[in-house]
């Protein structure tokens, strides 16, 4: 059984973030253990991106405590955040590839910019290639973002998020704006990241199907693709958290999500077609 004895990777304890006296995160608490996933739902402006940025130390909490890798990082210095971020991978909402850099240089960027990793050049080239192969884009090294489709650019973003082999991955809306098939491909890659390296995964999404995939599929290393997970729920746990105006209004399993009485929460449980 994966789960309960595993160490805590990310925890918020009553975290509050205020902008202009307005709480955009209001006493938010949750905990993720190694290998678990968090599906973060909530309408636009509910605080999802602020939550991720707080976990990255890019936005400072006004109250409460944040724990990363089992340590209280609430009062971490910039240098300590720098080191912490070297252990985290992130795909920002905007995608954020640099148009003027080749795909190779885009993916290498986190290695270049995190001095604590101190990656020698050959090792860097190898890691970049491996990451791009992981997302099945090994042939695009020399290309530029403008030469790739939206789905391919998103995959490059995933390659860049995983290039440092992080223990914790944060994906802000990785499937937004993609057609359903490309979105499923992206989710399969995120599942692969979770299952191959037991990375702890936080994903912001508007698509309930994304969460369903995380819960119901696992990556089969011998087959090289995702397959339905055993129905006995022995896989890594997937938490569902719903934010509303900065407050957590739901925290539970997919099964609990599907029987939630709260209308705001129930609205996120949508079936395709």
Ligand X SMILES: Nc1ncnc2c1ncn2[C@@H]1O[C@H](COP(=O)(O)OP(=O)(O)O)[C@@H](O)[C@H]1O
Q: Which does 50 bind (CB under 5 to 8 A by kind): Mg ion, ligand X, none?
A: ligand X
By CB under 6 A, what part of segment 63-82 binds ligand X?
none
Please count the residues of this chain forming the interface with ligand X, following the rule CB under 6 A.
10
Distance CA 215, CA 233 (A): 8
* Distance of closest approach, residue 192 Cβ to ligand X, in angstroms: 25
- Take residue 117 and report the two structure tokens written for it: 């990793």
DSSP type of residue 159: H
Q: Which does 35 bind (CB under 5 to 8 A by kind): Mg ion, ligand X, none?
A: none
Closer by beta carbon to Mg ion, 49 or else 201: 49
243: which residues sit within 8 A by CB, 6+ positions away? 28, 40, 41, 42, 46, 47, 48, 51, 249
- Take residue 156 and report the two structure tokens written for it: 């490059």
Q: Which does 44 bind (CB under 5 to 8 A by kind): ligand X, Mg ion, none?
A: ligand X
Closer by beta carbon to Mg ion, 49 or else 140: 49
97: which residues sit within 8 A by CB, 6+ positions away? 106, 145, 153, 156, 157, 160
DSSP assignment string, 120-150: -HHHHHHHHHHHHHHTT-GGGTT--GGGS-H
Which positions from 34 to 73 touch Mg ion by CB under 5 A, shown as an x/- string?
Answer: --------------xx------------------------
Residue indicated by tokens 């400072």: 60
Alpha helix (H) residue ranges in 33-173: 48-55, 78-85, 103-112, 121-134, 150-162
If one asks whether residue 205 binds ligand X (CB under 6 A), the answer comes out as no
- Take residue 11 and report the two structure tokens written for it: 């925890």
* Distance of closest approach, residue 41 Cβ to ligand X, in angstroms: 9
172: enclosing H helix or E strand = strand 168-172
* Distance of closest approach, residue 44 Cβ to Mg ion, in angstroms: 7
* Distance of closest approach, residue 44 Cβ to ligand X, in angstroms: 4
Q: Which does 230 bind (CB under 5 to 8 A by kind): ligand X, Mg ion, none?
A: none
Q: Which does 70 bind (CB under 5 to 8 A by kind): Mg ion, ligand X, none?
A: none
- Take residue 92 and report the two structure tokens written for it: 């920002």
* Distance of closest approach, residue 268 Cβ to ligand X, in angstroms: 13
Which positions from 13 to 52 touch ligand X by CB under 6 A, shown as an x/- string?
Answer: ------x----x-----------------x-xxxxxxx--
- Residue numbers of the site for Mg ion (CB under 5 A)? 48-49
**Which residues are at the interface with ligand X (CB under 6 A)?**
19, 24, 42, 44-50
């Amino acid at each position: 059984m994966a789960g309960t004895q595993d160490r805590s990777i990310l925890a918020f304890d009553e975290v509050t973030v205020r902008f202009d006296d307005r709480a955009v995160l209001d006493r938010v608490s949750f905990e993720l253990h190694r290998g678990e996933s968090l599906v973060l739902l909530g309408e636009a402006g509910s605080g999802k991106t602020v939550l991720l940025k707080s976990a990255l130390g890019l936005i400072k909490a006004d109250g409460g405590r944040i724990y990363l890798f089992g340590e209280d990082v609430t009062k971490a210095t910039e240098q300590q955040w720098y080191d912490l971020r070297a252990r985290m991978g992130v795909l920002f909402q905007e995608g954020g590839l640099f148009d003027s850099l080749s795909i190779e240089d885009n993916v290498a960027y986190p290695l270049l910019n995190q001095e604590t990793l101190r990656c020698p050049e050959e090792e860097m080239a190898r890691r970049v290639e491996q990451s791009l192969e992981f997302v099945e884009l090994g042939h695009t090294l020399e290309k530029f973002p403008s030469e790739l489709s939206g789905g391919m650019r998103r995959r490059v973003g995933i390659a860049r998020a995983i290039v440092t082999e992080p223990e914790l991955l944060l994906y802000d809306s990785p499937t937004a704006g993609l057609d359903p098939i490309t979105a499923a491909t992206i989710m399969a890659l995120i599942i692969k990241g979770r299952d191959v390296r037991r990375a702890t995964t936080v994903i912001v999404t508007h698509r309930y199907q994304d969460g369903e995939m995380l819960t119901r599929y696992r990556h089969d290393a011998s087959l090289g693709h995702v397959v339905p997970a055993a129905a006995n729920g022995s896989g890594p746990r997937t938490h569902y958290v719903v934010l509303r105006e900065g407050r957590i209004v739901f925290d539970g399993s997919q099964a609990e999500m599907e029987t939630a009485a709260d209308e705001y929460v129930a609205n996120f449980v949508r079936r395709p077609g």
